[in-house]
Amino acid sequence: MISRRALLTTLAGLGVGTATFQRALAQLAQDDGAVTIENLQQAQWISGYDLTDEEQSAILAQVNRDKNQLGELRQCSIDYDVAPAVVFQTLAHQGGAGEAPRRGAVPRESHPPQRPQDDAQLAMLPITELGSLLRSRQISSVELTQLYLERLKRYDPILHCVVTLTEDLAQRQAEQADREIAAGLYRGPLHGIPWGAKDLIRVADYPTTWGIPGFADRCLPGNATVVERLREAGAVLVAKTSLGALAMGDKWYGGTTRNPWNPRQGSSGSSAGSVAATVAGLLGFAIGSETLGSILTPSGRCAATGLRPTFGRISRDGCMPLSWTMDKLGPICRSVEDCALVLDAIHGADGRDPTAVNRPFEWPCEIDFRRLRIGHLARHAEQFERPPWTVLRDLGCQFVEVELPSGFPVLALIQTISIEGAAVFDSLLRARQTDGWNTWPGSFRAAQFISAVDYVRAMRVRRQLMEAFESLMSGVDILVNCSDLMQTNLTGHPSVIFPASVEQRDGRFRPQMVTMTGRLFDESRLLAVAAACQRMIGPLAHPPLEEWLEQEIPGAVDDQ
């Protein structure tokens, strides 16, 4: 063991054994002492940064907030046998366990609809109806692809939802889909359907920008697993859709992605473009990602239907990492059943993402609603006379009052994102290549001052939260509108969101959304319940895009 004298001698040799440094260490050792600029200057050796005065001032408040939240974390009681939530996997375990998925999902009803005469109505149809029109050859994939490309070009100037159009690829894929369908080689319900990929998903021969100007022209080799699986399903990629810079919010280097119901408002983020383009009928469906609300939040603002699957359900191979322990991919569609059809095509292990596993998924899924236990918060009782509660009651579901797990420092646990993100983007941070990163630079730099011990402590407390939430879910099948977004992103449970209505009040369109959370890897039942509710609620209106085109949309965006 190194002696105190040897330690001080070593520190002095490094230039940190000064009286000022010792005073800084003493102050940091006090539980109630605030971190000062002097502390940061003397503690820079922890992170290996040489911060400017401006950068030190910028992160000081964040460092103090982190310190206060970590104080709560340190008060948590943890038994010695509580393991971290992060489980190491050897290379032999890549791809997870379980049988390879059998991709046999089909729409509940297969009667081909009549093709709408109006192209705008056609563009707004769900996958279930578009697929029937394609299979019955009332429309070709080339025709549908051209329609969506034209709409992307027409409405993107007011929505700012497109980073790159993939026209050449879309043309080739659509022509191939038409040939195969004409020859009776039908790949399934996504065959010939145009779609969009959030621009953190790698697509060969096209830029993958992550929403930042430094990568605007960057092309990466190969396709992400989700791109390959949708290609195998016969889907047609028409666009790379916008995301907030490095998956934060709706602001990217091309502007702010806007809400199709109100282009004076941001669409929220970070799956901003995927949601806006889907709701506006600019493509058949899109793939987004969520680390902490990036599918559910913009879907809620723009009245989309979005699915955040169980963590590990879909491979993230070829996608930008922000938090290895929290990132998830999921479909954004115009109906719950559409989400089920897309999920069936893309889920399962691939041998590349070690967190991706094979678990059963069936669609359609038949359930006995009379045996279904719906968890709700106490305050929901006064809402039982309006949807979705009236619909769930008519279906015969049982209502169970629940309380979410409490006593966990959730905000401290959410620091996981900044810590892991700081590791992902460390080299760019050190090179100060952070233009257009929104507020990430300060968060990532502040995270460098969180110790590894505290990170592991957070993972152990996260394990306790996971166990507490699993205990809650053992008593119910579905949670409805329980405001569990932060907790379930930490525990990995799946959630689906869909609109019950879109009301116009005070000159604003306000969607009323339903959020349902299910058990781990139980998307079949979760989506079956949500789809039944959505069918009983009925179809909704579409955004008045032509009216917005006729108006002058100001440059400033109201994000309220």
Catalytic residues: 198, 270, 294
Map tokens 């918060």 to a residue.
377
Apex 185 CA angle, 330 and 144, nearest 5: 60
List, in order, residues 6 or more apart from 43 with CB less than 8 Å away: 24, 28, 449
List, in order, residues 6 or more apart from 431 with CB less than 8 Å away: none
- Residue 3, Cβ density class (10 Å: 0-12 exposed, 13-18 middle, ≥19 buried): exposed
In 3D space, the residue among 140, 319, 343, 111 whose CA is nearest the CA of residue 222 turns out to be: 319
The rounded distance, in Å, linking the Cα atoms of 234 and 346 is 12
Angstrom CA distances, 180 to 126, 232, 237, 517, stand at 22, 12, 17, 38
Helix intervals (H) in 88-136: 119-123, 127-135
- Residue 29, Cβ density class (10 Å: 0-12 exposed, 13-18 middle, ≥19 buried): exposed
List, in order, residues 6 or more apart from 385 with CB less than 8 Å away: none
Q: What is the DSSP letter of 369?
A: G
Half-sphere exposure of 187 (CA within 13 A, CB side): 21
Quick check: bond before 364 cis, omega within 30? yes
- Residue 321, Cβ density class (10 Å: 0-12 exposed, 13-18 middle, ≥19 buried): middle
The rounded distance, in Å, linking the Cα atoms of 331 and 344 is 10
The rounded distance, in Å, linking the Cα atoms of 146 and 154 is 12
Map tokens 């330690």 to a residue.
7
